[in-house]
Amino acid sequence: MLFRVLLARLLTIAALACALPAAAQPNAKRAKGPDPDEAILAAHAAWRAGDAARLARIAAALDGHPLAPYVEYWQLALRLSDAQPEDVGAFLARHAGSYLADRLRGEWLKELGRRGDWPRFERELGPLVQDDLEIRCYAWRARLARGDATVAAEAREIWEEPRDLPEACQLLAGELLRARLVDREAPWRRVRLLLANEQLQAARRAFAWLPAGEAPDERTFSIAATAPQRLIAQPTRDFARRAAREMALFALARFARADLEGAAAALGGDFGRRLPEADRRYGWGLVAHLAARRQHPQALDWYRRAEGAALTDDQLAWKARAALRALDWQAVRVAVDAMSAATRREPVWSYWYGRALAAQGATDGARAYFLRHAGEPHFYGILAAEELGYIPAPPEPFHVPAEEEVAAAARNPGLARALALYRLGLRGEAAREWAFSVRALADEELLAAAELARRHELYDRAINTAERTVHRHNFRLRYLAPFAETLRERGREYGLEEAWLLGLVRQESRFVVNARSSAGAQGLMQLMPATASWVARRIGLAGYHAGRVNEPETNIALGTRYLKFVLDELGHPVLALAAYNAGPGRARRWRDARPLEGAIYVETIPFKETRDYVKKVMANTMYYAQLYGGRVVPLKERLGTVPARNPAERVNEELP
């Protein structure tokens, strides 16, 4: 390991030396001064603190450092609100085509938008690479300012954003309404969307867009939000007013979160009868959506009562999932048919639509749907191929980059800067620099960059970069196996398949030793501190303390043993993965009253994160098994059948 670290540092230095002109390389005299890397870290800290004076003092000593452009960028970013166009233009010209130039250009465009300097904004917009909703809204405002009414159609997405909008988009919405370029229903549709997504403050802001006198009063809104049953039990008699109906429906949705069956009873009773038919159907859509996400047995029945309502793609997806749990294949087809064209084309719904056709005897139609994604390197690509009678293998031959290709990647200035940033521990900046630098590379260049990352033990960058290839691939780079020996040893000790463990670690951390999630999970196998401590106590790990959780061997020992605990407790690999991600209690609750096909269990997991996690680990397992000599077993067989809930089962309440 020490040799690899030293080699990685030497390669970084060589790459930086190649990437810089000779005149820009630090001279021997400068080497005797303060450590340049420490100065970069100090400059970064000064920028984060907004200390322009300290940043200026540090910058004076960093001329010629490969990361000097970052210091220059940090200085300019701190004074961008007062910057002159000439200063910004000079930076963009000096660093044209770089990540930092694009980042500064985006921030400068926002500043120009705030200033309302539309001519300069439109001149600067063209070279921008990044996609940013706030900048798009400024661009639409610029066009609207010169009388371009076609903006209204393009900007339709701002009404469909399920969260609060940037200020630029708020201003654009107001301008479109005042110019009468959108219909009167648009604000109400947005209010409904925000309330359905629990974005209450954003909904309050959207009230300002409603026609004069139509906005809900604050008292009714507060009751609907905090005491919804009160509003439903004693609704206003003024249901002729749109605001009153919308607050009643909002109260219904809030009530359903606390008492789903009570909300359904109210909607089926006097409260629902007083609503207009269209609003009542909309209300059933809200209740059914929540019921499906909670795997309530009446969800599909409630969806049928919403027939005729304009359901969102997410509501329709959960209708399809409720139909899957009920094995109602016709209802699956009806739900998918009602989705938007883009959603219908997604692999998940192409696969399940094919399964629905096959279940109804339409084998030719089913085959056509399976062929759409069969063999693609993901969960449903594998399942679709298996429905056609084969297990997809990694595409060969693998393109192995030649040394000159890797050397060329090392000379890429953006990749060289990213390596330097990684070396200094500035992972966020490094990841963004790397992603920008590889965005337009050809397949061979991507694989060379992936190999460069692998040699520097930047396994996450290697995997993510190798995954971007379109025509030429190297699945051994996509599915790297560092720490395989340790995982193999622990797998043998606990009876866990090596390919499964590799698939899990790849998904959890991309083999980044010191990975840390926003929730606080740490290390290769992303253990929460409490879970790691619990396992350490159970297995009697001598000398364990929280500071050891990132040690690869310790993390793997604790993670594999915890996985063994949940597998023994739940008895099924799919349940074990769901438990590893979301907890054993939830994994149990997500079972059905009858046995479920494993793929249906996975697709109907209520948490998107956990649903995607289980799919990706199982797909990873398939490729690791084929690449590293494991058991080649069909994915559908691996998924198996998830047993029914058993109220009498004994549960280990101690298991975290």
> Which residues are marked as active site?
508
How far is it, in rounded angstroms, from Cα 543 to Cα 536? 9
Cβ(382)–Cβ(392) below 8 Å: yes
Cβ(546)–Cβ(532) below 8 Å: yes
Q: Check residue 522 and report its DSSP letter.
A: B
Tokens representing 104 are 């500064």
C-alpha distances (whole Å) from 404 to each of 237, 394, 552 are 78, 26, 33
The alpha carbon dihedral of 647, 652, 654, 656 has a sign of negative
Give the distance from CA 431 to its chain's centroid: 16
Tokens 């359905």: give the residue. Answer: 196
Q: Exposed, middle or buried, 3 (CB in 10 Å: 0-12/13-18/19+)? A: exposed
Backbone region of residue 510 per phi and psi (left: phi > 0; alpha: psi in -120 to 50; beta: other values): left
Q: Output b/e per residue, 342-374; b: 16+ Cβ within 10 A.
A: ebeeebbbbbbbbbbbbeeeeeeebbebbebbb
Tokens representing 586 are 């939830």
Q: From the CB of residue 339, how many other CB atoms can be counted at a distance below 10 Å?
A: 22
How far is it, in rounded angstroms, from Cα 332 to Cα 292? 13
Count Cα atoms within 13 angstroms, Cβ side, for 122.
11
> How many residues does this entry show for the chain?
656
85: preceding bond cis by omega (within 30 degrees):
no
Q: Exposed, middle or buried, 608 (CB in 10 Å: 0-12/13-18/19+)? A: exposed
How far is it, in rounded angstroms, from Cα 346 to Cα 384? 13
Cβ(30)–Cβ(36) below 8 Å: yes
The alpha carbon dihedral of 517, 522, 524, 527 has a sign of negative
In the three-class reduction of DSSP (H, G, I as helix; E, B as strand; rest coil), residue 273 is classed as: helix
Q: From the CB of residue 379, how many other CB atoms can be counted at a distance below 10 Å?
A: 25
Q: Output b/e per residue, 483-504; b: 16+ Cβ within 10 A.
A: bbebbbebbeebebbbbbbbbb
Q: Where are the alpha helices (DSSP H) in 524-607?
A: 529-539, 552-570, 573-582, 584-589, 598-603
How far is it, in rounded angstroms, from Cα 390 to Cα 586? 34
How far is it, in rounded angstroms, from Cα 144 to Cα 152? 9
Dihedral angle over CA of 452, 455, 456, 457, nearest 10: 120
Cβ within 8 Å of residue 94, ≥6 positions away: 69
Cα-only R_g, the chain: 28
- Measured in degrees and rounded to the nearest 5, phi and psi for residue 612 equal -70, -35
- H or E segment at 597? strand 596-597
Tokens representing 77 are 């970013």
